[in-house]
Structures are given as C-alpha cells and as structure tokens.
Amino acid sequence: MSEIVSNVILVLVFVIVGGVFSAAEMALVTLRQSQVQQLAATRGTRGRAIADLVADPNRFLSSVQIGVTLSGFLASAFGGATLARHLDPVFVRWGVPAAVASTLSLILTTIVISYVSIVLGELTAKRLAMQRAEGFSLVLGPLTNAISKVFRPIIWFLGVSTDALVRVLGGDPSADREEITEEELRSMVVSSASLGPEERRILDEVFHAGERSLREVMVPRTEVEFLAGDMSAAQAASLVREGSHSRYPVTDGSVDRIAGFVHVRDLLALDPAQRHSKVIQLVRPVRSLPDSVKALKALSAMRRGRSHLAVVLDEYGGTAGIVTLEDLVEELVGEITDEYDTVAPSDAMHVRMRDIDGLMTLEAFADRTGLVLPEGPYDTVAGYFMSRYGKVPVKGAKIRVHLTEVDAPQTSEQPAPTDTAANIEMTVTGVDGRRAAWLDMRHLDEPAAEPATPVTAAPVTETHATTRVTTPPAEGGTASARTVAHSPSETATAGRIEGEGTGPDPTGR
C-alpha cells in the first residue's frame, strides 16, 4: 500500500471518529425525557448510562466535544503534514513558485479535509443520529460514558469554565432545557404522521377538557330530577320506572342538601318489607365537587373513587348541578348517544341554526353553528341571550347581534364588521320558567342594529319563580305534584330556582 493511500485512510479514520462523537451528541440531545426514562427502565446498564449522561449535560457535552475537536484537529494536522507535500510538485509544474506552491498545497488539503469532515463527520452523522436517536444512544451512550470517566479531570475543568462563562452571559448553569409548552405539544400532535385523524381529534379534546371547569359541563340543577328523601320507596320506584336515568340524587329537605343517590336497581328490586321504607334509608354516598374544578381533574377523582355521579357545588356551598362520568368522557371522545338521545336529522346550515338548546355551552354552539359567542358572565346560550336582552326572556323575544366566525380574530366583545362576521337574529322559541329553553337563529342581510338591542320587547309583568315539588300521597293514594309560587323578594332571598327540566337525559345515561 502506497504512503499516500495509507495517509488518506488514516485521515478518514480521524473523520469517522469525529462523526461518531457528533452522532452521540445529536442522539443524546434529541432524546425526549420520556424516552430517557423508558430506556433507563427497560434497557438495563446501557439505559441507565444514558440517563446518567442526560442528567448531567456538562459531562456528556464536554466528552463529545473533546472527541469531536481532537479528531478534527488531528485530521487537519495530519493531512496537512503528510498529504500537502505531495501536491507541491504539481503546482511547481504549473509554474507556481516553490514557496507559494507549498502554501497553496496546505490550503487546498485543508479545504478538502474540512469538506469531508463536514459532510461525513458532521452532517451525515448527525442526520442519521437524529432519525434513529434511541438506537444510536444505546450504542454510543456507554462509550461516551466511559470516555467521560477517563477524561474526568479535563471535563471537570471544562465544566467549571463553562459555568463561569454562562453566568457572565446571564444564564443559569443549573437550568435544564426549556419545558415543552402546550402550544408546542399541540403542534407536535398535529404534525405527527403516526397519529390518525380520530386520534388527533381526541388528543385535541383532551387539551380543551383541561381548560373547562365543571361549571361548563355539568347538568344544571334546574334540569336534574331529584327524589325527596321522605318519599316512600314504592312511590319512588313508580316514578323512576317511567324515567330514563339509572341514578337519582336524593334530597334531605332541600335541593341544597343532597343526602346521596339511589340506583334504579335499589328501588325496583326491593323486598316487599322495604317498600314502605323511606328513600333516604336507601341512599348511597355521593361525591361533591366544586364547580371550579377542571373537567380532567374531576374525571381522575371520580375514576379513582369509582364514582359514577357527583354533585357540583357553587361558591356558596349550594347545589349547582350534577356531573356524571359519561359527561366527562364526552368531553374527550365527543357526544355519546343512546336510545334516549335525539339525533339531529341533518347537518345543513338551516337545521344547525334552529332548535338550539338554551343550555348549550359556548363551545358546543361554536361547533354546531360555526359562530363564536363572546365570553362573559355566562356559560350557556341562554345566559348569553339574557345578558344581551337585559330582561327575563319570553317566547318570541329577539335580539340582533354581530358574531364572528370560528377561528376569526376577535378584538373586542362585539367586533367591528369584517368578512368573517355575520349579522344574526336570535329568537326565543320556547321558555322553561324564566330561562330561554330553545332558540332559533337566522342571518340578516341588512347590517345589525345596535348590538344586543331587543327587537321585540314583550310586556313583562311581575314574575314569580316556581318550584315543582313531588309530594308523597296519602296511604294507598298516588303521588301528586304542586307548583309553589314565590314573590320576587322571596326569590331573591332564595337565590335559586328549583325545578325539573324537560331537556335531554340530565344524568347523561
């Protein structure tokens, strides 16, 4: 083998050694923390070596930098000393002076070696390591760990010098890499080729569910069917037999005092001797959660406690509503329908703009209509309507509003007209007590009037709140219902309206 060939091979060896260290650096830096933990738990000594290196960035960065720098210097120095002199005669034959030919030979040799080092020892090595981070880490991690132990004194000195310079430049030597933000994580999910559309949708719902509170997903108390605790078990059984729920909250004298809940099996499978016992004697414990708790946290708490139903409390300790496991799961996977749910017959725009449930949340409204209701001191469409209408809504009440479309920028509560906005007329088509139960919407061709100005103002007389109370019958009779009227002052004192809703399955079952 000629001297030139052997020298070229030796230069390539130095370049490849540098590439090995470059690949080790890229592989270890590319690893996510979850991957490091998994390797440490499943790959034995090699995995633990990787975890040790990643936990001490100064150590492994110094180790690979020593290898990369030394191999690069050795390749350039050895190539310049052994290969450049073979080019001198070539330049001399071309008429270049001998002194200049020596310099040109050294420069040309250095450029060629630098090109090979960059392509083979840096770019190619790092590209491969980035694509196969785990594999390269398992192969090169133990080697890097061993080198870090051999050169420990040098690495210690380099680490101290680096920490001092980082402090001078305003950094924190002990700080790790930046945490992944929620937006970055969402971007990773969207750009991931390994996730299908349905998986991406579910993950996106998980992010949104983490932002929603129970106040936004619960069934409000006005839509919950309560059972009075002093009702006999036989009477309760006859009531639930006609219903569509599997669990019923039981009150102890007031809706704000929930004794627990009963399952329909507890009532329909009673022994004859228990038929005259009170419902409150059959209750099971029920979990209570504040309405400010986030949906995901509530889901975890109910799953750990094996609770299918929870009572949601407002800030004053009163009953705001209930929430079920199904309600919370629907926040993640979408609407779950059964034989008791009503499915929309069409997805056409004119259908989606009609028969809007007043209890629909702002998010659900945006999903259905493609229009965004501005945020405010309300969580439902009915709350938005009442806030804009300014009075207790009656059937036929209307407002004209200016709404932006989904994903359009919203600079104020009532944005100026843009190409992505719509003038909408909202009409109450049904009321439940003092709440707008159902609404219709239509687009207006003409510009909207002053936002949220009532179009029709039906005369409003003194309004009384009503409470529907199911009372036990006399012995041998049937249950009866009575409606109790309250004056406005009494209603203000009570602070709430208690009643039975007629909407969809309130417990989500």
Task: Note the pLDDT of residue 469.
Answer: 37
What is the reported pLDDT for 179? 62
Q: For residue 287, what are the β-bridge partners?
A: 310
CA distances from 416 to 409, 412, 423, 444 (A): 11, 8, 11, 16
Tell me the average confidence (pLDDT) per consecutive run of 10 residues in the chain, 509 residues long. 83 91 89 85 85 80 86 88 84 84 88 91 90 88 84 84 86 67 70 73 75 86 89 88 86 91 87 83 92 89 90 91 88 69 50 79 85 88 91 91 69 42 86 89 63 45 36 40 36 35 40
CA distance 134 to 42: 12
Contact yes or no for 283/259 (Cβ under 8 A): yes
Strand partners, 466: 485
What's the rounded Cα separation, in Å, for the pair 17 and 21? 7
pLDDT the model gives residue 445: 64
- Going by their DSSP bridges, the two strands 257-263 and 247-254 should be labelled as antiparallel
Model pLDDT, residue 411? 40
d(CA 287, CA 306): 10
Distances (CA, A) of 60 to 159, 274, 313, 470: 10, 73, 53, 73
Structure tokens that stand for 237 in this block? 């059984």
The Cα 384–Cα 381 span in angstroms is 5
- Residue 442's φ and ψ, nearest 5 degrees, are -150, 150
- Please state the φ and ψ torsions of residue 439, each to the nearest 5 degrees: -135, 150
Contacts of 381 (CB under 8 A, 6+ apart): 356, 357, 358, 359, 360, 361, 362, 365, 373, 436, 439
d(CA 1, CA 494): 102
Rounded-to-integer distance, Cα 225 and Cα 168, Å: 67
Which residues lie across from 228 on neighbouring strands? 251
Residue 153, pLDDT score: 87
